[in-house]
Structure 1
Amino acid sequence: MTAAPKTQLAAVGAVAPVPVSTVGGSAGDPLPRRKLIFAIVSMGLFMSSVDQTIVATGLPAIQRELHAQINWSGWTITIYALGQVLAMPMAGKISDMYGRRKVFLISAAVFTVASLCCGLSHNIYELVGLRLVQALGGGAFMPSATGIVSDHFGRERDRALGMFTSILPIGGIVGPILGGVFVAVWSWRGIFLVNVPIGIVLIVLAAVFLPAGATRSTGRIDAYGIGLLGVVILAAMFGITYLGSGEIPLYDPVFLGSEAVAVAAAWLFVRHTKRHASPFIPYRLLRGRGFGVMNVINLLYGAAALGFGALVPLYAEQRYGMQPLASGILLTARAVGMISVAGVAVLTLRRTGYRFPMVVGFLVLAAGLIAMATTPHLSTYAWLAIAAGVTGCGMGLAVPASNNASLQLAPDQVAAIAGLRGMFRQSGSIIAVSVTTAILARSGDPGIAQAHVFIGFAVVLLAALPLVFTVPDHRGSW
C-alpha cells in the first residue's frame, strides 16, 4: 500500500485515520465478518451525521409548537455541535482504556434514550438539555467506530476508514429531506423518535456481533481541560443568546458577566494547556508554526460554511415561505455540490498545492452566499438551489486542501490534528448560529436580516484570504 492513497483518504474526511494498535486484531478476520462489523459501526455514524442536519429543517416548527424565541430554538443546533466537540476526545481515550465495543454500545444507548426524550420534550429548555445528552452519545460514535474498524481490518484499514468519509455527506443529504418529510406529514417530534427503533436494532446488532477487543492504558483523561473548553463555549453562547432576548442593551450585566466568564475560562484553558503534562490539546497545535493560522482559518470557515448550512432551511421558510421539505432539499443541493467536486479536488492536490484550491474554494463559497442573499433571478426555488449548490462546490474545493494543509504540519499527530480541526470548525459554527439567531430575535424582518448575515459570512471568507497565503504550501509527490 502506497502512502498517496492514505493521504488522499485523509483529505476528504471529517476525521482522518488515526494511529492504531492491532492488539485484538483482526487482519485475519474473514471478509464477511469484517463487512458486518463495518456495516454496524457505519449505522451508528450515519445516525449521528443525520442528526447534525435534520433538526435545521424542523427549527421553525419547534419554535412555533414550543413557543420559543428563535435565539433559544437555535440552541438545538449549537448545543449538538458543542456536545460533539466535547465528546470526541473523551470517547477516543475512554475507548482505548475500556474497550471500543463497550464505548460504542454505551454511545448507542445514550443516543437512543436521549432521542426518545427529545421527542417527548415539553419546552425548549428540556429539548436543549436533552440534545446535549444526545450529542454526547452521537459524538462518541466516531472515535469508537474508528478504533473498531482499525483493529479488525489490518492493512485494509486505510480504505475502510476512508469509506467513513462517504457516510457523513450522505447523512447531510438524507437529514434535511427526512426532516422535511416528518414536519410535513407528522411532527417535528418524529425527527427524534425515528432514532429509537433504529437505535434498538443497532444496540442488538452491536451486542451480538461486535467483538470485545482489547484494552490498553493511555493515561488519564484531561477532564479539567475539556471542562474549561465547555465553559468557554457555553458561557459565550449564553451571553449572546441572552442579548437576543428582547431589547437588552450591550451593557447588561448578565451579558457582560457571561462573556467575562468565557474570556476567563479561555485564559485558564490556554494556561492549563501550556502547563499540563498531557493536555486535551497540545499547546504547540494551538500556536505552533502554521497551526495558529490554520486554526483561525478553520474557525472562520466553520462560521461561514457550517453555520450557514444550519440556517438555510430557516431562511427559505422565513423569507420565501417555503414548505419544510422544499427548504430541506436546499441543503441536499449543497451536499451534492460538495461531493461532486471534492473527489476531483483531492486528485489534483499534488499539482495545485494547498493555497490555490483554498483561495478558489473560498471565493466560490462567498459567491454562493451572496447569491443566496440576493433577489432571485429565476424562480425562487431554482435560484436558491443553484446558490446552495455553488456553496457546496466551494466547500468541496477548499476542504481537502485545508485538511491536508493542517496534516502536513505534524504528520505524526494525525488524530490530534483531526480533532483540533473539527473543534475549531464546530466552534465557528456555534458562534455563527448563536450570533445569527440573536440578530433574528431582535429583527423586525428576520428573512431580510438573515440575508444580510449571509453577506456578512461572505465578507468573513474574503477576510480569511490573506491568511491562506501564509499557509505552508506543498506540491509534487507526497
Structure 2
Amino acid sequence: MQKSPEISPQQSWRALAALCTGLFITMMDQTLVAVALPRIREDLGASINQAVWVSAVYLLTFAVPLLIAGRLGDRFGQRNVYLAGISLFTLGAVACAFAPTIEMLIALRAVQGLGASLANPQPLSVINKIFPRERRGSAMGVWSAVAGSAGLFGPVVGGVLVGFVGWRWTFFLYLPLGLVCLTLVALWVPKLPTMSGRIDFLSALVSLIAVLAVVFSVQQGPDLGWPLWLWALLVLGLVAAVVFIRLQKTASRRGAEALVPLDLFQHRNFSLGLFAVAMLGFTVYAVNLPIMLYLQESAGLTSQAAGLLLVPMAVISMFIAPVIGRITDRVSPGGVSILGFSSLISSMVLFGIFMFLEVPAAWMLVPIILLGAANGLCWSPNSTISMRDLPPHLVGAASGVYNTARQVGAVLGAASLGAVMQIAGQHFSLHSVMGAAMLFPVLFLVCGLIAVANFQAHPRVVSTAKP
C-alpha cells in the first residue's frame, strides 16, 4: 500500500465539497426523473410499464454493482473511480435528453445508474482517509446532509423543469452540474493510497447475480403479479447470496482477497449501522410517492405547488445534518440516533393520521418539517458511528456494503409500499390508501430504533478466532 499523503484541514474540506456535488446529482436523480414520467410517457408513446422502467432501471443498475464499486476504489483509487463514474453518469444523462424512443431512454438510464454506482461509495472511503477521527462526524454530517436531502430536492426541481421547459431538461440539467463536479474533483481531491490486492472476480460475478436477481424480483414482483419464473429468479438470487458468503469465507484459501471481508461484521457498530441504514433507505426513498400522490390527487395541488410544499423538508434536513455531525463527535453514540429514529417514526404516524383525516394541505407542513429534521438527525450519526472505528484496509469494502444496504433497502421499500398501495387501493379511497402506505414503514423504523439504541461508545471487536 502506498504511503498516505499529508492533507491539510482546508484541503480536506475542499475535497469533501467537490465529492458532494456528484453525490448530490446522483442521489437527486432517484426522485427528480420520477416527476417527469407522465410527460415522458405522453411524448414517447410509452406504456405505463415502460415509463416505470425509466426509473426502475436506474435504481437497478445503481444498486447491483455497489459492492464491487467500493473495492474498485481501493484497487484503482477512489478519485479515479469517482471521476469515471461521474463522467459515465453525465454522458448518459446528455444522451437521455436526446433519446428518440422509450427503449433507447431505458437503455441510457441503465448507463446512468452504472455511473452513479461507481461514484457513490467513494466519498465514504475518502472521508475516512482524509479526516481524523475527531473531525469525522462533522465531515459525515455534510455528506449525510447531501445524501439524505438530495432526494428531497428531486420533486421540487423536477416539478419546476417539467412544468416550464419540458422533461428533456431534467437530463440537460446534469451537463453543467456534471462538468462542475468533474472539475472540482480533479482540482481538489487528492490521490490517495491504493490497495495492492487483486479483486476476486468469481465473488464479483456471484454478487452481481445475487443482488440483480433479488432486487429485480422484489422491484418487479408487485407489477408482474409474482409469476412462477419470478419466484425462481428470487430463489436463484438467495442461493447466489449463500454461495457469495461461502466464497468470502474461503477467499484466502483460494489466494484471493474477499470482496466483502467478513471481519467487517465483527465490528458491532458497523453491523448495527448497516441494519439501521437499510431501514432508513426502506422508508425515506419510498415515501415521496404517497406524499406527492396525496398532495396532488387528494389535496388538489398542482405538481409545482406540491413540490414547493416539500421545500422546507429538504432545507431543514440540509442545514441540520452538519450541526448534528459535529454533535455526534462529542456525545455518546446512540443518543442522537435514537432522537432521529423517534422523530422519523412520529413523522410517519402524523402523515398517516392526517391523510386518513383528509386534512387541508397546509397541515401537512407539520409532518413535512418533522421529516426534514428527522433526516438530519438520522443519516449523519448513523454513517459516522458505523464507519469511524473501522481499520483503513476495511473502509473501501465497508463503503460498498453500507451503500448497498441503503440502496437495497430503498428498492425493497419502494416495492413494498407499491404492493401496499395496490392491495389497499382495491378496498379503500385514495387518501386512506396513502395513509396506510405512510404507516407501513413504522414497524421497520422501530427495528432500526432498537439497533441504534445499542450503539457502543468504545465497541469491542467481536472475535471469531479459535483459541
Query: If the TM-score is normalised by the length of the shorter chain, which range does it land in?
Result: 0.7 to 0.9
What is aligned with 2:86? 108
Q: TM-score, normalised by structure 1?
A: 0.76
Matched, 1:358 2:337: yes
Alpha-carbon offset, residue 411 of structure 1: 5.2
Task: Report the Cα distance in structure 2 between the residues aligned to 1:156 and 1:364, rounded to whole angstroms.
Answer: 26
Task: Give the drift of 1:458.
Answer: 1.6
* Alpha-carbon distance in structure 1 between the residues aligned to 2:8 and 2:457: 37
Match of 2:27 in 1: 49
**Alignment equivalent of 1:431, drawn from 390, 409, 412:** 412
For residue 112 of structure 1, report the CA deviation from its aligned partner: 1.9
What amino acid maps onto 2:434 in structure 1?
Q
Equivalent AA in structure 1 for residue 170 of structure 2: I
1:289/1:195 Cα in 2 relative to 1: closer, same or farther (>3 Å)? closer
**SS of 1:354 mapped into structure 2:** coil
Which runs of 5 or more structure 2 residues have no equivalent in the other structure?
Answer: 460-467
List aligned pairs for 1:261-300, cutoff 5 A. 261-277=236-252, 278-286=257-265, 289=268, 291-300=270-279
Structure 2 CA distance for partners of 1:447 and 1:187, relative to 1, 3 Å:
farther
Seen in structure 2, the aligned counterparts of structure 1 residues 424 and 178 have a Cα distance that, compared at 3 Å, is same
Where does 1:110-125 land on structure 2 (aligned, <5 Å)? 110-121=88-99
**CA distance in 1: counterparts of 2:299 and 2:147, whole angstroms:** 29
The CA distance in 2 between the partners of 1:108 and 1:217, in whole Å, is 22
- Give the equivalent residue in structure 2 for 1:390: 370
Matching of residue 336 in structure 1 with residue 315 in structure 2: yes
Q: How many correspondences in the alignment?
A: 449
Change (3 A) 1:115 1:79: same
1:136-285 correspondence runs (5 A): 136-142=114-120, 164-168=143-147, 171-172=150-151, 174-200=153-179, 213=191, 216=194, 218-245=196-223, 248=225, 252-277=227-252, 278-285=257-264
- What is the CA distance between 1:321 and its match in structure 2? 4.0
Displacement after TM superposition at 1:355 (Å): 3.4
What amino acid is the match of 1:398?
Answer: C
Q: Which residue of 2 aligns with 1:13?
A: none
Deviates more, 1:453-462 or 1:415-424: 415-424
CA distance in 1: counterparts of 2:7 and 2:447, whole angstroms: 48
**Aligned-partner SS, 1:307:** coil
Correspondence for 1:455: 439
Q: Which moved more, 1:277-286 or 1:346-355?
A: 346-355
Change in CA separation of 1:381 and 1:446 when aligned onto 2, cut-off 3 Å: closer
For 2:436 and 2:47, locate their aligned partners in 1 and report how far apart those are by CA, in whole Å.
20
**Contact 1:303 1:457 (C-alpha < 8 Å) held by counterparts:** yes
Q: Secondary structure at the match of 1:374?
A: helix
- Distance in 2, matches of 1:341 and 1:421, equals 22
Deviation at 1:428, TM superposition (A): 0.7
Q: Give the alignment's Cα RMSD to 1 decimal.
A: 4.2
Tell me which moved more, 449-458 or 395-404: 395-404
- Cα deviation, residue 179, structure 1: 0.8
Between the aligned partners of 2:233 and 2:210, the Cα distance in structure 1 is 9
| Per-residue deviation, residues 173-216 of structure 1 (Å, max 9, x unmatched) | 54332211111112222211222344456557777x57995875
Task: Give the distance between the partners of 1:310 and 1:329, measured in 2 at CA.
Answer: 15
Q: Name the CA shift for 1:92/1:437 in 2 (closer, same or farther; >3 Å).
A: same
Q: Give the aligned partner of residue 4 of structure 1.
A: none
Shift of 1:122: 5.3
Find the aligned partners of 1:239 and 1:217 in 2 and give their Cα distance. Answer: 35
CA distance in 1, matches of 2:14, 2:278: 37
State the TM-score, normalizing by the size of structure 2. Answer: 0.77
Code of the residue aligned with 1:435 in structure 2: it is S
Q: Taking every aligned residue pair, what percent have the same amino acid on both sides? A: 24
Helix, strand or coil for the counterpart of 2:285? helix
Is the Cα–Cα contact under 8 Å of residues 149 and 375 in structure 2 kept in the other structure? no
Deviation at 1:460, TM superposition (A): 2.1
- Distance (Å, rounded) in 1 between the aligned partners of 2:169 and 2:447: 40
User: What is the aligned counterpart of 1:322 among 301, 306, 312?
Assistant: 301
Instruction: Work out the CA distance in 2 between the residues paired with 1:291 and 1:150.
Output: 14
Aligned position for 1:407: 387
Q: Any conservation in 1 of the 2:324–2:377 contact (CA below 8 Å)?
A: yes
Superposed displacement of residue 50, structure 1 = 3.0
8 Å contact kept, 2:70–2:398: no
Alpha-carbon distance between aligned partners in 1 of 2:217 and 2:66, rounded to the nearest angstrom: 25
How far apart in 2 are the matches of 1:156 and 1:356?
Answer: 18
**Is the deviation greater in 150-159 or in 375-384?**
150-159
CA distance in 2, matches of 1:350, 1:145: 19
In structure 1, what is the Cα distance between the partners aligned to 2:389 and 2:80? 34
Q: Is the 8 A contact 1:406 1:417 kept in 2?
A: no
Q: In terms of mean alpha carbon deviation, does 393-402 or 421-430 score higher?
A: 393-402
Name structure 1 gaps, 5 residues minimum: 1-19
CA contact (8 A) 2:98 2:168 kept: yes
Once the two structures are TM-superposed, the CA of residue 410 in structure 1 deviates from its matched residue by 3.6
Q: Residue 7 of structure 1 aligns with which residue?
A: none
Residues 313 and 61 of structure 1: CA distance in aligned 2, closer, same or farther (over 3 Å): farther
Task: Provide closer, same or farther for how the CA distance between residues 215 and 345 of structure 1 changes in structure 2, counting only shifts above 3 A.
Answer: closer
C-alpha deviation, 1:461, in angstroms? 1.5
